[in-house]
Structure 1
Amino acid sequence: MRHRQAEQNRLRDEFALVAQANTGGEFMADEDVKRLEAIAEQTWLRHFDNRLGLSGDEQRQLTDVPEVAPPVEERLLADRPEHLFAWGERKPPVVRDDPANRWGFDMELPEYSNNMGELYNLRIARGTLTTEERFKINEHIVQTLIMLSTLPFPKSLAQVPLLAATHHEKLDGSGYPRRLTAEQLTVEDRVLAIADIFEALTAADRPYKQAKTLSESVKIMLFMARDEHLDANLLALFLRTGVHREYAKRFLAAEQLDEVDVEGSIAQLRQWGLLTD
């Protein structure tokens, strides 16, 4: 009886770890990763046909996987060949030397369009997004430029495609989709970058993260300016004019409306030597 109770406690602890890994967090410790790997090594006997009730896409993923009649011993958590989805004809032209890339994209393309591996997804060190999922999110800006560049904008709106596709670029050249540097970014580009990041940080409709409060969002943006991801002078203007507060009152939940130390934030930017005024 005592052994059974100990085994039940162990299973509860392991389930709690898997559940926590599934919801993600700011950081997963190396020891937790090792525990996950140990849990994955446990085996069970499958007595049912694992090809029943699958969608067409799932069936196609099993085309080259040998069918083994149950009972079959399997690992509790596994990364299988059928979890890997090839790009096929949907491969976007984002690599710099891709002949089909006529937009100047300069991004790293994951080997697969999706990876549904169980252990692969649970072992993510920060948050819940895999490399493939993060690329899929970032790809929206690629498709934005591709689509808008096909439209017949009048001369007065000729820059719209580039403006719409540049708000994820960074001053230090590490942004996407074209890795533009500070010298290549216009004031409009820099303003849109600040607006986009502020909206993303405070948004409550993102399934992969919690919405930040005003002060949390501003703090993150200050460090982004320090790291040359955002224009510090425009960020200071954003705070001085109270645009952040006006937006928050209209679109954010009451629990997000905490106080922002505007003068302290600007003083921090000045202390870092980022302001020109």
Structure 2
Amino acid sequence: MSELSNTQIAERLQHLTTLSIALNDIKNVKLLLERILQTAKNITNADGGTFYRVSADKTCLEFDILINSSLSLHYGGSKDKSDKMRAIPLSFDNGEPNLDAVVAFAANRKESVNIEHVYDTPIFNFSGMRRFDEVHDYHCQSLLAVPMLDHNSELVGVLQLINSVDCNNGQIQAFDMTDQLFIEALSSQAAIAITNQDLILQLENLLESLVNLINIGIDEKSANTGRHCQQVPKLTMMLADAVQASKEGPLKDFSMSENERYELWLAGMLHDCGKITTPVHVIEKATKLQTIFDRIDLIDSRFEILGRDAEIRYLKQVIEAGKSSQLVQALQDELERFNCDRAFLAHANIGCERMQDEDLERVMTIANESWIDYLGETQPLLTENEVENLMIRAGTLTGEERKIINNHISVTIRMLEALPWPKNLQDIPEYAGGHHERMDGKGYPRGLCKEQMSVQARVMAIADIFEALTAKDRPYKTGKTLTESLRILGRFSLNGHIDPDLFRIFVSEKVYLKYAHEFMDSAQIDDVDESQIPGYLIQ
């Protein structure tokens, strides 16, 4: 075996240096492991290599990657795995460590195994390797198995190299001590990088679990809002991808990296996290008079009393003056008026887009009526609070309740800005906190205008509105059709509410239709005439 020249040693050091740089850049663990194995093969000029990772429960070594140059085999990593490669147990059924398989030996002893002639070594069971040789007409001669240990000496995996090839004559040779030292150095460095990647993934999973935990809390308060928290990020990503794919218009240069896509998705998941502080009776207010229960029932009871009192008056008059057609008609007229007012208030209790002025006046007229309570005291038919709620022009929320609802975005921003976001996630508060701002600066909570907002925040604003319009599970409304929703959005694009450039992409790239087919009820998916959508011109 010839000694390595200074040039060859320099080349190996260069391989290690290149890998060291790559370890910090490669975020995909599968590609990272493949790069490590390829580098190990290059350093030792090995014909084949296999990488095993220790299983999550620490009971076995799971096959991850196999590469063999002369056989042109490549399983795992950037390629599909082979179902023929079996996991190797680290211990037997009796609890004794597995020292028969060479990679299990290296793993259990945490030491390298360097064999010059594989089948002349009786202490290991090479039955699996023999089967491989028979199937592929191959001969495994030399072997180097190196355990990969992290900074805590915890096992990460085992790197196994097969058949070192002499560069001068192409003959198979043993892996020398220099080979072993280089691979041990590489394995140590790679194990730490893999561990760091695993820790990053664990932290990301923890972060996502905490986000889901918040949404579960919101969902427990309101199943309707919980669905909203899941759907908005999905629609946000659909529109963001469509914007990135556009090749013309003011947004043709917009692009996002994978990290930026993840940041936007996470912001979408958190965009309503402040609602965890919003009172349930406000979030779930299905009718104008609803608090813990719908107080229209109290008003119904008063009308029942009014009707009963009218009947009592009639009966008294009958006793005193005798039955007359005038008395009967008067009673019927009065009861009919009560029933009409009662039905009107029941209808007024349901939220609408805009209550008519004459209906508001009628509420006040009814409020001036009175009834006698069980103490014999005269009370107004409607309390001040009931009048305030029944005269809500649009929706079901009073001005004070609207402030409470609107405050959720301020709470969201405060919650998110209080977190020590890493650099790659530091824009989450801005993305999540801007979905109630308007392009004309009339939104809330900060009154930002279009130029002060990122494209991502403007995308989320459209997703938030469209999901709310089409959602069929809100307690205070039914889900609108595609045509109705797009016409409302179109008007919003004209009056400075949403970004008109983003809206045009939303329509032209059929983002609305993709979302509809995936998440909307089929009854809401009507045929949209895009030429009739305000603010949208067909190209």
Fold-level similarity (TM above 0.5) = yes
* Separation of aligned partners in 2, 1:25 and 1:160: 34
Cα distance, 1:25 vs structure 2? 2.1
Letter of the structure 2 residue corresponding to residue 77 of structure 1: L
More helix by share: 2
Asked if the contact 2:431–2:454 (Cα under 8 Å) also holds between the matched residues in 1, the reply is: no
* Separation of aligned partners in 2, 1:132 and 1:244: 34
Residue of structure 2 in register with 1:76 after alignment: 381
Among candidates 453, 466, 485, match of residue 217 of structure 1: 485
Asked if the contact 2:370–2:378 (Cα under 8 Å) also holds between the matched residues in 1, the reply is: yes
* Separation of aligned partners in 1, 2:447 and 2:489: 20
* Separation of aligned partners in 1, 2:532 and 2:371: 58
Among candidates 428, 435, 438, match of residue 167 of structure 1: 435
Residue of structure 1 in register with 2:137 after alignment: none
TM-score between the two structures when normalised by the length of structure 1? 0.72
Letter of the structure 2 residue corresponding to residue 76 of structure 1: L
Cα distance, 1:264 vs structure 2? 4.9
* Separation of aligned partners in 1, 2:343 and 2:395: 17
| 1:180-259 equivalences in 2 (<5 Å) | 180-259=448-527
Residue of structure 2 in register with 1:40 after alignment: 367
* Separation of aligned partners in 1, 2:348 and 2:531: 39
Residue of structure 2 in register with 1:147 after alignment: 415
Asked if the contact 2:351–2:396 (Cα under 8 Å) also holds between the matched residues in 1, the reply is: yes
Letter of the structure 2 residue corresponding to residue 151 of structure 1: L
* Separation of aligned partners in 2, 1:264 and 1:74: 52
Residue of structure 2 in register with 1:6 after alignment: 333
Asked if the contact 1:36–1:123 (Cα under 8 Å) also holds between the matched residues in 2, the reply is: yes
* Separation of aligned partners in 2, 1:173 and 1:120: 29
Letter of the structure 2 residue corresponding to residue 74 of structure 1: Q
Q: Match of 1:168, SS?
A: coil
Q: Match of 1:269, SS?
A: coil
Asked if the contact 1:129–1:208 (Cα under 8 Å) also holds between the matched residues in 2, the reply is: no
Indicate the RMSD between aligned Cα atoms, in angstroms. 1.8
Greater length-normalized contact order (CA 8 Å, ≥ 6 residues apart): 1
Asked if the contact 1:124–1:130 (Cα under 8 Å) also holds between the matched residues in 2, the reply is: yes
Cα distance, 1:71 vs structure 2? 3.0
Asked if the contact 2:530–2:536 (Cα under 8 Å) also holds between the matched residues in 1, the reply is: no
Q: Match of 1:74, SS?
A: strand
TM-score between the two structures when normalised by the length of structure 2? 0.38
* Separation of aligned partners in 2, 1:261 and 1:236: 14
Letter of the structure 1 residue corresponding to residue 510 of structure 2: G
Letter of the structure 1 residue corresponding to residue 447 of structure 2: R
Residue of structure 2 in register with 1:111 after alignment: none
Residue of structure 2 in register with 1:124 after alignment: 392
* Separation of aligned partners in 1, 2:413 and 2:348: 35
* Separation of aligned partners in 2, 1:206 and 1:137: 15
Give CA deviations for 1:118-139 in whole Å, capped at 9, x if unaligned: 1110011222221122222222
Cα distance, 1:261 vs structure 2? 2.3
Q: Is 2:444 the counterpart of 1:176?
A: yes
Asked if the contact 2:409–2:445 (Cα under 8 Å) also holds between the matched residues in 1, the reply is: yes
Q: Match of 1:23, SS?
A: coil
Letter of the structure 1 residue corresponding to residue 464 of structure 2: D
* Separation of aligned partners in 1, 2:341 and 2:474: 28
* Separation of aligned partners in 2, 1:261 and 1:163: 32
Q: Alpha carbons of 1:206 and 1:3: their partners in 2 closer, same or farther (altered >3 Å)?
A: same
* Separation of aligned partners in 2, 1:26 and 1:44: 32
Residue of structure 2 in register with 1:18 after alignment: 345
* Separation of aligned partners in 2, 1:175 and 1:27: 20
Q: Alpha carbons of 1:253 and 1:176: their partners in 2 closer, same or farther (altered >3 Å)?
A: same
Residue of structure 2 in register with 1:262 after alignment: 530
* Separation of aligned partners in 2, 1:31 and 1:74: 25
Q: Match of 1:151, SS?
A: coil
More strand by share: 2
* Separation of aligned partners in 1, 2:498 and 2:355: 28
Gap regions ≥5 residues in structure 1: 48-69, 80-116, 272-276
* Separation of aligned partners in 2, 1:265 and 1:34: 35
Gap regions ≥5 residues in structure 2: 1-327
Q: Match of 2:397, SS?
A: coil
Cα distance, 1:142 vs structure 2? 1.1
Range that drifts further, 202-211 or 186-195: 202-211
* Separation of aligned partners in 2, 1:2 and 1:146: 64
The alignment covers a number of residue pairs equal to 212
